Amino acid sequence: MFDYDTSPAEGGVEFKPWGKTPRNKGHQITITEKLDGTNACVIVRDGELVGLQSRNRLIKPGDDNMGFAFWAVDRAEELVKLGDGYHYGEWVGPGIQKNPHMLETKQFFLFNTFRPAETLPECVQNVPVLYRGPYKPAALEVTMRDLWANAGAAGYIPEGIIVYFHDTRTYMKDTFANRGGKWQADL
């Protein structure tokens, strides 16, 4: 039989319960188009632009992410209107990935689709929302099918979707290429 020392101050064992796992009962999701660009972030603190980053590191003009840092510094006065915090998004346009939307200029699309578009600075847009509602596997398939059809009609090949699960605040992606994952054969 174990004789547990339960005094955390002395390095003893502490009980940490496993949280409740929610049931899958139609929890809310938001599905957005996965834009083919590069991850970027604007960092605002005390009403000032204090940093910029790519997916993996802090960046600055001259040590940049496809021109994002130069673009952001030039628009610092507008970008601080996002408010304090880390504002993540996708930097897309000419020279970035495949530019399937055939954009003529580089643009920054914010991932936070809950922020009303009218509160965004003029130089920032939200990623396109394709579906908002209860989670159902069919909703993902219908959204993928509709995205493929609508993109084809608009003359571009879409990359895929991002699914945001409201309850768990987690994301999942589904892409048209490699639907089973980059290292797996398609299922």
Domain residues of the chain, as ranges?
28-175
Count CA atoms closer than 13 A to 136's CA, side-chain side. 8
Q: What CATH number was assigned to the domain covering residues 28-175? A: 3.30.470.30
- β-pairing, 107-110 vs 124-126, is parallel
Residue identified by tokens 């879409």 is: 158
Taking 70 as the pLDDT cut, the residues of the chain under it are 1-13, 22, 24, 26, 179-187
pLDDT at 4 (0 to 100): 55
Contact 119, 125 (CB under 8 A): no
pLDDT at 187 (0 to 100): 44
pTM of the model: 0.81
CA pair distance 124, 96, nearest whole angstrom: 17
pLDDT at 74 (0 to 100): 96
147: its two tokens: 């995205």
